Structure 1
Amino acid sequence: MKKYFVIVLLSFGILQAFGQNKTCPCCTEIHSEFDFWIGSWEVTNPNGTKAGTNTLTKVEGKCVLKENWVSATPGYTGTSNSFFNLKTKQWEQIWIDNQGASLHLKGNKVGNQMILKTDKENNKDGQLFFHRVTWTDNEDGTVRQLWETITNENVTVAFDGLYKRKE
């Protein structure tokens, strides 16, 4: 019995050392860094026009932030899964839309921003480029999502949306 008790205590100590919770392994501070984006949102463009709606929930034992996007442009939808990768010690997002496009973003939270980037690749002109998506947790409860495509020194805005919670 004493041996069993020691094994249990050691196991508990190891789990605690790695910040894991046996009943909820993803209920850690690092796993909640992107929780500011959870909710049901109305999304507008910089000019105030409706860009779409978005719903984000935690799934898979609170390990994955699941996104469901519906664009104001009829017929365009997409979904993503965001998660903290314990092996690489960074956030990752896999985006897939109903047009067959996908993005794999990686990065970390810096201050009040989650900043994720794709790997560099060559465009049709042979120039290196990458995508950078930044989510800013604003003090007023809104979230700004800025998606930029960066080629050499040129930055092109692909999407700039302001998320306001649905009431």
Structure 2
Amino acid sequence: MIRMIFVAGLLLAPSPSLAQPAAAPKPPACADAAHHAFDFWIGRWTVTETKTGKPAGQSLIEGLYAGCAIRENWREPGYAGGSLNTYDAAAGKWRQTWTDSAGTWREFVGGLEAGRMVLVWRHPVQADPSKMARERMIFTANADGSVRQYSDASTDDGETWTERYDYTYRKAPRR
């Protein structure tokens, strides 16, 4: 009887030949430099108009989803909005989707140009839908740790540009 239990125990024991090998750990999906090219914008910011120094708003920019996305949370008196930003590796482009408390939606596409993040939204001109308009945002990391966000627009498909705003982001004091 002891022998039978022992034999039954052997039959129930897992066989080493059937054991699954340990899976190799996957490398992080968004660990490469291209996915982190916009990380200079991450932080809690006080934002001012670059030329006048007047307050423009406040922004919290967060890195999310294991480094695969950046979320912007913008607010100023009477207005709020935000964006979700991610690097599209297949296209080799950054994408930003913006929406706000005014019901606005925009889809910007771009990437690094001469060390600056340049994102452009192309859309039909309201007055003449046969023409294309562009809104461009240029983000520059400054040596002092601030970030400049300059935006301009063109209604003649990039022939001429008109400034929309020029902001400087400075790290907000810790709470």
State the TM-score, normalized to the length of structure 2: 0.79
Query: How far apart, in 1, do the equivalents of 2:137 and 2:91 lie?
Result: 19
Corresponding residue number in structure 1 for 2:12: none
- Unpaired segments ≥5 residues, structure 1: 13-20
Structure 2 counterparts to residues 100-111 of structure 1, below 5 A: 100-111=103-114
* SS of match in other structure, 1:48: coil
State the identity as a percent: 31
- 2:91 corresponds, among 77, 88, 91, to 88
Q: Where in structure 2 are there 5+ consecutive unaligned residues?
A: 1-16
Residue 44 (structure 2) aligns with: 40
Structure of larger gyration radius: 2
**2:40 partner SS:** helix
Runs of at least 4 residues of structure 1 off by over 4 A?
Answer: none
Find 2:153's aligned residue among 141, 149, 152: 149
Deviation readout 1:37-77 (Å, 9 max, x if unpaired): 00000100121110000011111121110000011xx2200
Describe how 1:1-167 pairs up with structure 2 within 5 A.
22-45=26-49, 46-71=51-76, 74-126=77-129, 127-152=131-156, 153-167=159-173
Partner secondary structure for residue 122 of structure 2 = coil
Q: Separation in 2 of the partners of 1:156 and 1:112? A: 22
Q: Using the alignment, how far apart are the partners of 1:128 and 1:110 within structure 2? A: 22
Q: Secondary structure at 1:119's aligned position in 2? A: strand
Counterpart residue type for residue 102 of structure 1 = W
| 1:25 maps to amino acid | A
Residue 138 of structure 2 aligns to which amino acid in structure 1?
Answer: T
Q: What is the alpha-carbon root mean square deviation over aligned residues?
A: 2.3
1:17-47 Cα offsets, whole Å, 9 max, x none, are: xxxx825211211111000000000100121
